[in-house]
């Protein structure tokens, strides 16, 4: 079924090479976009929990704008609208960026800032899930607000939200497919191009689907490993904490060590 992918295309390459090229752009867009999203989302998420009302209001405004506008609309705004509202010289310079970079950079900014709004809410939830006694203890020790967030609040919050961040890691690389609408030849765009060239739609998109599935499973396993490595002691799943292991079960006729039968 997938034999057509190893046939030679009109440009001299094999169709499988088109898919691998698209996969490269997908991975680059997802990887770089994730770090932009994480950095911005961390700052905005912290801003949502600080006492300064102006900062908190600005952080909430950012979240409401970027989270509630569809990512496709944002992609069009960054690619088509932004160059026209900037100063003429700067806008023309952006329009003259050669492909594929002219599409890659707007897509990168779009996905990074869109995902950052979602991560900010995860960070906020993680911070608010911590007991208030953590902050009060830090103040009693004489730590400043920055030191409290830097050394106590944020490290614990990030460890708590690793499971919920898994969906964001998997979501950002799936959202890269939206970049085909502005001309970036990522994985979905290459699959569509193969379909149009060979009329083998099922083969082209079937191969792309399997690649997306493999990436999802890889991302999931990576996040599970990170979660186990950074999990806060005492926050293990309830099943592990409640159900006794074989070594904990004692025979019915035996008594705990140190106890004697009263006579």
Contact 174/165 with Cβ under 8 angstroms? no
Better pLDDT: 81 or 236: 81
Residue 259 or residue 69, greater confidence = 69
Query: Can you say whether the dihedral through the CA atoms of 130, 133, 137, 142 is positive or negative?
Result: positive
With CA atoms as reference, report the closest residue to 64 among 44, 42, 91, 38: 44
Q: Which two tokens stand for residue 162?
A: 């690793």
Highest mean predicted confidence (pLDDT) among 108-112, 133-137, 147-151 = 108-112
Interacting residues of 118 by C-beta distance below 8 A, sequence separation 6+: 37, 41, 67, 168, 171
Average pLDDT over residues 50-62: 95
CA distance 40 to 35: 8
pLDDT of residue 233: 75
Q: Where are the domains of the chain?
A: 2-232
Categorize the per-residue pLDDT at 66 as very low, low, confident or very high, splitting at 50, 70 and 90.
very high
Those residues whose C-beta lies under 8 Å from the C-beta of residue 98, and which sit 6 or more positions away, are none
187-211 burial, b for 16+ CB within 10 Å, e for fewer?
Answer: bbbbbbbbbebeebeebbeebbeeb
pLDDT mean over 180-201? 92
Q: What is the pLDDT of residue 237?
A: 53
The fold of 2-232 is MetI-like fold (1.10.3720)
Whether 98 has a pLDDT exceeding 60, the answer reads: yes
Q: Which two tokens stand for residue 16?
A: 């499988």
More confident position, 79 or 173: 79
Q: What is the pLDDT of residue 241?
A: 43
Mean pLDDT of the chain: 88
Confidence band of 11 (pLDDT split at 50, 70, 90): confident
| 7, 19, 227, 248 from 251: Cα distances, Å | 68, 61, 36, 10
Secondary structure (3-state) at 6: helix
Give the burial class of 82: count Cβ atoms within 10 A of its Cβ; 0-12 exposed, 13-18 middle, 19 or more buried.
Answer: middle
Spatial CB neighbours of 111, under 8 Å, sequence gap ≥ 6: 29, 30, 33, 37, 71, 172, 175, 176, 178, 179
Q: Residue 242: what pLDDT?
A: 43
Predicted pLDDT at 42: 96
């Amino acid at each position: 079924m997938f034999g057509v992918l190893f046939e030679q295309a009109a440009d001299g390459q094999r169709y499988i090479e088109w898919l691998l090229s698209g996969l490269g752009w997908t991975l680059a867009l997802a990887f770089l976009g994730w770090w932009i999203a994480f950095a911005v989302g961390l700052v905005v998420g912290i801003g949502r929990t600080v006492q300064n009302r102006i900062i908190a209001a600005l952080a909430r405004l950012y979240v409401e704008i970027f989270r509630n506008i569809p990512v496709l609309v944002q992609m069009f705004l960054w690619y088509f609208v932004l160059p026209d509202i900037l100063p003429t010289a700067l806008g023309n310079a952006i329009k003259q960026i050669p492909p594929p970079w002219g599409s890659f950079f707007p897509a990168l900014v779009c996905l990074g800032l869109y995902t950052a709004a979602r991560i900010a809410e995860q960070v906020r939830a993680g911070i608010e899930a911590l007991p208030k006694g953590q902050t009060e203890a830090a103040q009693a020790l004489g730590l400043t607000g920055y030191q409290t967030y830097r050394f106590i609040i944020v490290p614990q919050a990030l460890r708590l939200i690793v499971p919920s961040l898994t969906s964001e890691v998997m979501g950002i690389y799936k959202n890269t497919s939206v970049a085909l609408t502005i001309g970036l030849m990522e994985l979905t765009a290459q699959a569509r191009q193969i379909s149009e060239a060979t009329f083998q739609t099922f083969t082209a998109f079937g191969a792309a689907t399997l690649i997306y599935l493999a990436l999802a499973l890889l991302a999931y396993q990576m996040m599970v490993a990170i979660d186990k490595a950074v999990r806060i002691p005492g926050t293990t799943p309830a099943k592990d904490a409640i159900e006794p292991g074989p070594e904990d079960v004692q025979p019915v006729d035996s008594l705990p060590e140190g106890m004697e039968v009263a006579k």
